[in-house]
Amino acid sequence: MTQHQAALVTNRRGTGCPFAPDTELAAIRDDTTALPAVRMALNGQDPFDARVVTRYADVRRVLGDQRFAMGFAFDPEQPRTLGNQPGFLLNHNGPEHARLRRMLTGAFTVRRIGKLRPRIEEVVTGRLDAMAAATGPVDLMTEYALPVPSLVICELLGVPYADRDDFQRRTEVLLAGATSLEEHLATVAGLNDYMATIVTARRADPGDTLLGDLVRDHGHELSDDELVGMGNLLLIAGHETTSNMISLGALALLRSPEQLTLVRDDDSVTTSAVEELLRHLAIAAPLVREATEDVVVGATAVRADERVVVSQLAANWDPAFVGENADLDVRRKPQPHLAFGHGVHQCLGQQLARMELRIAMPALLRRFPGLRLAVPEEDLRFRVDGPVYAVRSLPVTW
């Protein structure tokens, strides 16, 4: 059984396109005989065996079938890795997951997220002004893509934006593919200590913040450790994935000038463009599930206690789902893509991410209609060894 990093079986891209599944991943998807078995390694965990699920119908089936539990449930006897801590929603199942998710759901309704639009627009305008004042090329990642969602999630959680460099550094370590267990544990401990100070502050003064609302409405039901785990998940997920969607989305549009023009000049395509970019880029971390009983997936019998890992990337590009042409098409009718997962563990913050992308992408292109890469595309470097796909920097000019 071959050992792979998670990126190989879930998020590895082709050599000719930084977004399409690589040939090996596509071949796995196109082989209908069985789900291949691999040995995988993820940060903070020992290597484990899993079957790779890549076809759209199978991925959707696994994510929507509650006989597949989260692949790494919280275990208080094990070291406190990023996922293995109380309150970290991605590693809870059943009634405990439902209890925690219920408390968070009210913070992410479409109506509540809609009220954030003026503030998000203000943040976007401020960052565009800062870019315009710069001389020479700028790194779109550090000057725009990362600050916009970081500032928004900091305000939502009541985290001082001045602390962003520290938690972003910790996030980078935790999402790097080659991090040792020792470094991972030390980084998590530091992040937990930091978030504990925020929780203490919100216990004393909830304020108009998401963590404050949790304290105000459910503080008697939640331990400090659970609030720390919730805060860590929201802080990391709230800036990491959206920032990479903004930067990679800009790159995808720069590679397709006709598509870029549509997004820049036609408000009617904004919604479909964002959904298409989410489908096309599929940057999400690997989703590991564990069968709680024997289940047949495709042509493969998955035994109880056996793990599977799903590839949203391969599924989102599956011809059986999207058709033979999976190239970027911002006018494509929005599809039920799997960028946010599916089922009871579907991403809680998806409406916030959509709102940020719908504002940030057109605004960038309209403010800088001559936006272009400041380096040859072949000089760009991508983060391919970690769970979330990213471009390390994106130098642009206009």
How does DSSP classify residue 141? I
Give Cβ neighbours of residue 111 (< 8 Å, ≥ 6 apart).
Answer: none
Give Cβ neighbours of residue 190 (< 8 Å, ≥ 6 apart).
Answer: 170
Instruction: Take residue 276 and report the two structure tokens written for it.
Output: 């298409």
Q: Where are the domains of the chain?
A: 3-397
- DSSP H or E segment with residue 295: strand 295-297
Query: Is 3-397 in CATH node 2.40.110.10?
Result: no
pLDDT at 198: 93
Write down the pTM of the prediction: 0.92
Helices 257-265, 224-254: inter-axial angle, 10-degree rounding: 120
pLDDT at 107: 78
Which DSSP string corresponds to 138-198? EEHIIIIITHHHHHHHHHHHT--GGGHHHHHHHHHHHH-TT--HHHHHHHHHHHHHHHHHH
Helix, strand, coil % over all residues of the chain, rounded to 5:
55, 10, 35
State the pairing for strand pair 48-53/307-310: parallel
Question: Which residues is 52 bridged to in the sheet?
Answer: 309
How does DSSP classify residue 41? E
Could you tell me the sign of the dihedral formed by the alpha carbons of 145, 149, 152, 158, in that order?
A: negative
- Whether 335 contacts 272, CB under 8 Å: no
State the pairing for strand pair 68-70/372-373: unpaired
Cβ–Cβ contacts within 10 Å for residue 334, how many? 13
Tens digit of each residue's pLDDT, the chain (398 residues): 454 444 455 778 877 789 999 888 888 888 888 888 888 776 556 788 899 999 999 999 999 999 999 877 778 888 888 878 899 888 888 999 999 999 988 778 778 888 889 999 999 999 999 999 998 799 999 999 999 999 999 888 888 888 878 878 888 777 766 667 888 889 899 999 999 999 999 999 998 888 898 999 898 999 999 999 999 998 888 888 999 999 999 999 999 999 999 999 999 999 999 999 999 999 987 789 999 999 999 889 999 999 999 999 999 999 999 999 999 999 999 999 999 999 999 998 999 999 999 999 999 999 999 999 999 999 999 987 677 888 999 999 99
Instruction: Take residue 115 and report the two structure tokens written for it.
Output: 């009220």
How does DSSP classify residue 344? G
Q: How far apart are CA 390 and CA 260, in angstroms?
A: 20
Q: How far apart are CA 100 and CA 87, in angstroms?
A: 7
Q: How far apart are CA 6 and CA 40, in angstroms?
A: 6
Q: How far apart are CA 230 and CA 179, in angstroms?
A: 23
